[in-house]
Every structure is written in C-alpha cells, then in structure tokens.
Amino acid sequence: MKVREIMLKYVTHMKALGRSPHTVKNAGNMLKRFATFLENEGVTQAEELNREVIEEYRQELAFSFTAKGSPLSGRSQGKMLSTVKGFTRYLRDNDYLVHDPGAKVMLPKEPKRLPRSIMTQDEVKKVLAAPDVRTNSGYRDRIMLELLYDTAIRKAELSGIRMTDVDLEAGYIRVQGKGDKERVVPVSGRVCGLIRNYLLAVRPELIEGEDPGWLLISDKGNRMHLHRIWVIVKKYATLAKLKKNITTHTFRHTCATHMLKNGAPIRHLQEMLGHESLESTQVYTHVTINDLKEVHAKYHPSEKMEGG
C-alpha cells in the first residue's frame, strides 16, 4: 500500500485518539515532508520502508535550515523524527509491516549537530580512489562518486541526468529536483575533465543498441537506478575501509560541510542544495548561476584536488 495513503489513515487515527487539532495538523505537515523525501528516494510503498532510508532522512534533517538561514535545531529535528517514528510504529502495530524500521533510529541529543558520518577530505580521497578506473564500469563509478561530492545532488537527481542536461564547456549540470523543480548546479573543471574522458572512451562501450540518453549507463546499457547507485556507494566505502555509515546523503552533506568550513556564503549553498520547503532559499535574495559557479570554484575542495 502507498505510504501517503497510510499516512492519511494515521492522521485520522490520531484524531480518533483525541489529539489536539494543532498536534494533528503539525504531524500531517511533518509526514508530508517525509513522504516527499521518500518519493525522491524512490520509496512509495510501505513495504519499501527500512531503517536505512529513515537514517538518511535523519541526515537530511541535520543539514536543513530555518527560514532565517540557521541550522534546524535539534529540538525541531527531534519533533520531525518522533513523528516519523510514531508513524512507523503504527505501520507495525496495524500489520502493514512485520517490523518497525524506525524503532532503533536515535533522536538528536544536541541541537545543530551535523551527522557523525560526514567524511574528512582524506576519507573523500580514499573513496574516490577506490574504483578501478582501468575498467569501463569502474570509471563510470568514479564519475558517479565525483558528481555526488562535487555537486551535492541527491541520488535521484544523479540518476535522472540526461546527456542534454550537461554543459561541460560552461561547467554546469541541470538536475530535476524535488517537486519536479529544475535547478542548475556547478561542476568543477577537474570533474568536467573526467566526464569528458568518460563520454569519449567509456560511455560508448556501455551502450547496447540505441542510446538511452542518460549520462550514467548501467552495465546492461540502461539508466542507473537508485538502488544500484546506493549499492555502488556502499561498495566503495567498504573498499576504502571507512568505518562510517556512508550513503549518497553523506556525500551531499560532506560537500556542504566542506564548503561551509571554507567560508562559502550560506545563501549560495542553499541554492546549490535545492532546498525548496519552509527551510529553503525562497526568503533569500535570488542567486544567479554565475554567482553560484564563482562560489563553487572558490570554496569547493574539489577544484584543488588532483585529477583522475
């Protein structure tokens, strides 16, 4: 059964329990936010919910911002996660799921604390160096990891990049974000160089029959799907011998953290991350893509890393 449909039942259940209208309304809004996150992760059915995706949501909240541009407080994160945990408990208690995937997810203990799984620059280098670039699939995987760190895009956005979305001369990639809203993100000159090599020598070897049009091609010549991207990230984090729980969201938040530490203006960073909810960039002065490109080139460590 679809997650959003069960959420409506859960909200009705809360009303039946006599919860205040304010509590019910807030819970409904928090669950809508969670549902949107799940859909962008390719999760629409209740049986697809697991602890891993809830932990990724926990990371997403840890790097969200308020309308005034400050990090979302630990208290606010806790309320949102508590609502999610109440919902997953409802799923188990009403036989939608055998186990409660949110049972062991911990609430934040301190406000404004970033996830512990954020990678150091040395750890990033180890993961990026893990693929065997002498093979076609290994070089493609390197491009995937580089893009995740270089642009902070989500795995659904990475999967959805078409050849027509890439402008290597200007150093931009167009992505389809939450709510089908497009945005343009900068790509470093170094990574653009790696992509050029991939397009010339690797991608043509992966295509079987008609060109599907996607930037990233699977070993079978198709679009790279979300679960496969997740598996690839896990594979190279293991090969790099990292002890942290590394996911695609780890790359996203690592990129943002490294740019913040290097002094990147927060409003530019929010534009790059594509935040579109109440904790979004909407209250900020519009940032042009040329401004964003300049900030990316100045503050992202990727620009100063050695080539592939």
Using CB atoms within 10 Å of the CB of residue 155, give its burial: 0 to 12 exposed, 13 to 18 middle, 19+ buried: buried
**Residue numbers annotated as active site:** 154, 178, 249, 252, 275, 284
Burial class (CB in 10 A: 0-12, 13-18, 19+), 68: exposed
**Dihedral (Cα; 39, 52, 82, 64), 10-degree rounding:** -60
Q: Is the Cα dihedral 50, 52, 54, 57 positive or negative?
A: negative
- Scan for tokens 């996660």, then name that residue: 81
C-alpha separations of 4 from 33, 37, 77, 131 in Å: 11, 12, 21, 38
Q: How far apart are CA 146 and CA 124, in angstroms?
A: 9
Distance of CA 90 to the CA centre of its chain: 26
| Residues 53, 13: Cα–Cα separation, whole Å | 24
What angle separates helix 289-299 from helix 266-273, to the nearest 10 degrees?
110
